Structure formats: C-alpha cells, structure tokens
A and B are shown apart, each in its own frame.
Chain A
Amino acid sequence: MANFKVTMQLDDLSCPSCMIKIQKALTGQPGLSKLNVLFNASKIKLVLDDTANNIENIQNILNHLGYPVQKVTVKE
C-alpha cells in the first residue's frame, strides 16, 4: 500500500495542551501510521496509506476540535 506524507498547517496552536488533545484525537484513526504534532510550527505531519478519504476524516476531526486546517500538502 502506498504511503503518503501529509503536512497540515493549522491555525495558530496556542497552548501545548492542544498537542495532547490532537494526539489523543487522531491516534488510531484509519490509515494513519505516523503522527507528529509540531506545536511551534503549528503543523501536524502524518503518514497515511490512502489520501482523499483519510485527509478529509482528519480535517473533520481537527475542525471539530477547533483547529481549522489552513493548508494541506501531500507527498508520495
């Protein structure tokens, strides 16, 4: 299965507890094999095994948590 490296630029993450929240919320999501929340860069980096569906799913969760995604870049 192909792996995609996805970077999502979020609105400013303002408190490090956001990191824990995001980590807990995204861990175990389908297709997600690696997750790195970069608090200071206000970004998350993920490795996904599928793109369209999974990206949308993760964007929805982040929106729901109150961290809208500003920009998504996908690399194979």
Chain B
Amino acid sequence: MSTLLGFALLFHFIHLSKLSQILILLVVLIGILPIFLRAISALQYKSISIELLISIAVLGALMIHEYDEAGIVVWLFTLGDWLQVIMLRKTRQSIRDLIKTVPTTALKVNTSDDRHYEEVAIDELVPNQYILVKAGSTIPVDGVVVQGTSYVNEASITGESKPTHKIVLSDVFAGTFVNDGTIVVKVNKTGDETVFGKLIELIEDAQDSQTKEQQFIDQFAQYYTPMILILGIVVALWTKNIETAITVLVLGCPGALVIGVPVSTVMGIGIAAKNGIITKGAASFNILTQRNYFIFDKTGTLTIGEPTVVKIENLMGEQDNNLKLLASIENESNHPLARAILKINKTNDFYPIQDIQTIPGQGITAHIDHQSILVGNPKMMQAKHIKIPASTTNIADSKVILTVNQRVHMILTINDQLRPNIQQNLERIKQQGAKKLILLSGDNQEAVDAIAKTLPLDQASGNLLPADKLTIVKQLQRQGESVVFVGDGINDGPALSQADLGIAMGGGTDIAIEVSDLVLVKSNLAQIPRAIKLAHATMHNMQQNIFIALATVLILFIGLFTNFVDMSMGMLVHELSVLLVVFNALRLNYFK
C-alpha cells in the first residue's frame, strides 16, 4: 500500500495524473476493504465504530472526487492501526516476558528412578506423573521432589535470591530455577493452577481493571462516536459542504482518548510486576497517591517472622557440647524457636534421647546419657526453682535456657529480627505523604514498645486480636481517613480486606494473595515507597494522556473551523496523537 501510494504521489508530481489517480484508487480499494468489513460487522452488533466513521468519510471523499484525500486517509489509518498494534504489543511485553520464564515442555519419566526421559508439552502432564529437572533449567510445574537434591532459586516467587536447599519431599514451584543437581519431581499442579500461574493471572486481570477515569472515558466513548456521526450529518445539512462534513468524521475519531488511559495503567501494572509488586487493580495506584494512614502488623511484616539466635551465653561446660545437647532435644520439637536453635548447630550428629516430655508454654524435659536436661524459658526455670543469672538483653527477646542436672549451662537469646532498612523505608513512606504510621500487633505491649522505640512510628499497640485490628481500621474509616493496611495475610485477613488498600507480604501464600489488593512478592518493605512512587508516576502519565487526547480534538476542531486543517492533515494529527499517548506510556519503562 505504501509503495503504491508513493508511486501515485510521484506520478502526480510528474503530471501523469491519470496514472496517479488509478494508483490512488487502488490504494483506497485495498485499504478500505478490511476497514469497511470491520465497520459492517460492528454495525451488525449495533455498535458505531471508528471504522464506520472512516468508511463514510472515505466514501464521501470519493463521491466528491477527492481521491488523494481518500487515499491518504486510508493509508494513514491503516498505518496508524499497525503501529498501534506493534506498540501495544510492547506495553504488553512485560507480562509476556514473565510468562515465558516457565518452560512449555517437561522431561517426563516413568518412575522416580527412571533416567530415560521423553520431552512432552506441559499441557499433557497430569498430577502424580514424574518429571526430570536438570541443573540450569526452570521447573515447569508445582510438585514434590521424590529423588535427588538441589539448590533452587525461588526469586521469581518469593523474591529470596538465596538458593533454597531441596531434598526429597521438599515442595518445588513452577518458574523457579534449579541452580545445581538433578531432581525428579512428582507433579502436583500445572499451568494456571501453579502458584506462579496464579500470580500471572492476577497481573493479567489487574491490567484490565479500571480506574474511575477509565470508567468515565469508556462511558463517554460509547456516546462520543455516534455523536460525531450526528455532528457530521448536521454539518453536511447545515453547510451543504460534504468535504467539511467528512473532515469532521475524521477529526472526531476518539483514538487517543480511548487508548490513553489503558496504556498508562497497563504499563504501570507491568512495571510494578517486574518490581515484585503485584497489584490486583489500577485503582490501587489511585489510593496510593492519597494521604493515607499506614497500619503495619509486626511479626512477619516489620519483622522477618523467623526467630534468630542473637546471643549465646555459655556459663558452664563446653559450648559445642551444650549446643549439641540443645539441638538433640530441639530436633524433636516443632516449635518456631527450635528452628532457630537448629540453625546454629553445625552438625547433624545428635545424642540419643530418653523420657522426652513437653511442658506447653514452658519447654522440654529429657534424659541424655543419664543426665537430666531441661530446655525452656525463664517461667520453666522458676517453676523448677532454678535460679538464672540476670541478663542484659532486652525484655522483648525470648530466652531459652539449658540446664544439665539442675545447673544452668547456657542461655540463648532469640529474637525476631526487624527487616533490613526498615527505618529508612518507613521514613520514606512518611516523606511521601503518609498521614500516620501505626503498628498494631497481637504480641505483648512490651515487645511492641521495644520495636516502636527504634522506629519512626506515630502509634504502637499490642495485645490485639485480628478482630481488634479490624475495629481500628473501621474506626479510622468512619473518621473519613483512607487506610492502607500492611500485613502478612493470614490472621490479618479481616483488616486487610476492610482497609482501603490491603498490602500483603507475599511469600507465595495463596491467602495473602487472595485477600489483599497489592502483594509484595518479595516480602520487602522497600517495595512500598517504590509502589507509591510508581503510583504517582502512573497517575501523572494517565493525566498527561487525557490532556493530550482532549487537546488534540480541540486543536483539530479549531483548525477545521479556521480552515487550517483539511481531511488528510486531520488524520495525520489524529494518528500522531494516538502514537504520542502510547509513546508517553512507554516512557514509564524508564521508571527508576
């Protein structure tokens, strides 16, 4: 089409007008046919489309022998359409890139010991089949390791870039990367059912969620196109000038207006996803740009949620042996503190244990090699009348005391550490316009106060049940405040869903993803200031696009009535405005 048009213009300039006109007509015929067909098919479903405006305009131009105008309009419209598809594909690319990280084929084996694999499409796999995953490849399904060990990078789901050691019976997830070792995985879920698939689906749906601005424009656009058609008819009847009338149709195409807002939001949501911020709707951006109350949960939100041994006081006996005694007993326990203790024990060599007994809320008693061992908190020691030396550590920390034959051998101080850089992140949120930062926790007030002392919080309350947190959120909302609740998704569920915006620490849990509006996949609080910044950028971008679209229509109409703009010029400016809004949205790609 472009070549034909080029030759037509060339012939026009060298005064071969007949030949030029034939070529132009050919361009119009080739170009208008698909546009016309689309217009008719839309009309069948009672929808007045842009294509209909163009078709009528081009037919009108042909009727009044404005062949050049008709040819240029058709060519520009087709070219614009094509460029639009290409650029939209680019805005959609960020999501496609994510999806591409999951392989489409898997190496199927018949049993867990089998090494003779057959490459099959993921769609063909069913639960309980076995697949082989080699080092350096991405796991294609959610499943359980049944053979082999490996280190798996789960950054795509949890954001934790430190590889996780996977052994037999470990869960593995689609989209995560096997650093070393070959494993055989028993398939649990494939495709959309996997944790990764669910994340992708959320992002895709979010991209089509609408802001208030978008809803307004959609409604507006529905009436706008028929309105332009009527305006064209009125102009034709009024001025008796077909050319002006069909120019109105071309100028009135609502292209930039209908596309301007969605391209901004789709880019914003895509970039958020790339940064590990999954938003379920574009409306989240709107809320984040307001002056909000930010409420944080403590454990798992401000803290890592994983107790760590921060101090070892060895009072009697050899330290290594004491640790081994402790680990041998804690190895039998599922208590969260036990995990922290096992982490500091370097070997897997344990003593045989006799008469093990758990005292709920206090600790464990047992016998090892005819010695009486107690492992427990100060409450247990008090109950057993064992005196413990005063310690310098914070009252909010947990203590685990090891006694051998009633004598204190070792005191461990364990606490749940604050997330890294939390102070800076909270300060940034405040600088970005948060009204107040509040900590609400189920933990005791002492533990809450200990944390609040070090952080820039406006208020910190402890001893709260999930229902109390909900009540506080509701109270603030009744006072007309907009509330953002940040939690780790399970017991904070009610508050997260009641808040104007619920932000969940990801970690790949289904519940966290389900109840909140925004998920920080990497469980990293630095993502909140980032999300706020991105929200501002996206909202600005959207407003700029609305402005560009409205300004274009206004300028074109002023141009038309002052005789500065004709039909092909109008089409050119119109197409340029469409490209301009898409370009403007693509600028968000450079968001830092």
Tell me if chain B binds chain A: yes
* Interface, chain A (partner B; CB < 8 A): 12, 14-17, 20-21, 24-25, 36-43, 64-66, 73, 75
Nearest Cβ on chain B to A11's Cβ, whole angstroms: 9
A-B contact pairs, 24 of them (CB 8 A): A12-B88, A14-B84, A14-B85, A15-B50, A16-B218, A16-B258, A17-B42, A17-B225, A17-B254, A17-B258, A21-B45, A24-B45, A24-B46, A25-B44, A25-B47, A40-B92, A40-B204, A40-B262, A40-B266, A41-B92, A41-B95, A65-B41, A65-B45, A66-B38
Within the assembled complex, what's the spacing in Å between the Cα atoms of A38 and B203? 11
Find out whether the CB atom of B207 lies under 8 angstroms from the CB atom of A14. no
| B221 contacts chain A at the CB level, 8 A cutoff | yes
Find out whether the CB atom of B84 lies under 8 angstroms from the CB atom of A15. yes
Find out whether the CB atom of B204 lies under 8 angstroms from the CB atom of A39. no
Known: A15-B255, A38-B208. 5 other contacts (CB 8 A): A24-B47, A40-B266, A41-B204, A65-B41, A66-B37
Within the assembled complex, what's the spacing in Å between the Cα atoms of A57 and B248? 38
Residues of B within 8 A of A21 (CB): 41-42, 45, 47, 49
Within the assembled complex, what's the spacing in Å between the Cα atoms of A38 and B92? 12
Nearest Cβ on chain A to B212's Cβ, whole angstroms: 16
Residue of A with least CB distance to B84: A14
Count: A-B pairs, CB below 8 Å: 77
Nearest Cβ on chain A to B527's Cβ, whole angstroms: 22
User: Is the interface on chain B under 10, 10 to 19, 20 to 34, or 35 or more residues?
Assistant: 35 or more
Find out whether the CB atom of B84 lies under 8 angstroms from the CB atom of A17. no
Are A12 and B218 also in contact (CB < 8 A) when A24-B45, A38-B207, A65-B41 are? Answer: no
Residues of A within 8 A of B50 (CB): 15, 17
Find out whether the CB atom of A16 lies under 8 angstroms from the CB atom of B259. yes
Find out whether the CB atom of A12 lies under 8 angstroms from the CB atom of B262. no
Find out whether the CB atom of B41 lies under 8 angstroms from the CB atom of A39. no
Residues of B within 8 A of A20 (CB): 47, 218, 221-222
Nearest Cβ on chain B to A75's Cβ, whole angstroms: 8
Residues of B within 8 A of A40 (CB): 91-92, 204, 207-208, 262, 266
Nearest Cβ on chain B to A54's Cβ, whole angstroms: 18
- Per-residue CB contact flags for chain B residues 205-239 toward chain A (1 = under 8 Å, else 0) read 10110000000001001100100000000000000
Within the assembled complex, what's the spacing in Å between the Cα atoms of A20 and B92? 20
Within the assembled complex, what's the spacing in Å between the Cα atoms of A75 and B394? 54
Residues of A within 8 A of B207 (CB): 38, 40-41
Within the assembled complex, what's the spacing in Å between the Cα atoms of A25 and B218? 17
Q: Which of A15, A20, A40 has the most CB of B within 10 A?
A: A40
- Per-residue CB contact flags for chain B residues 33-68 toward chain A (1 = under 8 Å, else 0) read 010011001101111011000000000000000000
Nearest Cβ on chain A to B399's Cβ, whole angstroms: 52
Within the assembled complex, what's the spacing in Å between the Cα atoms of A38 and B221? 17
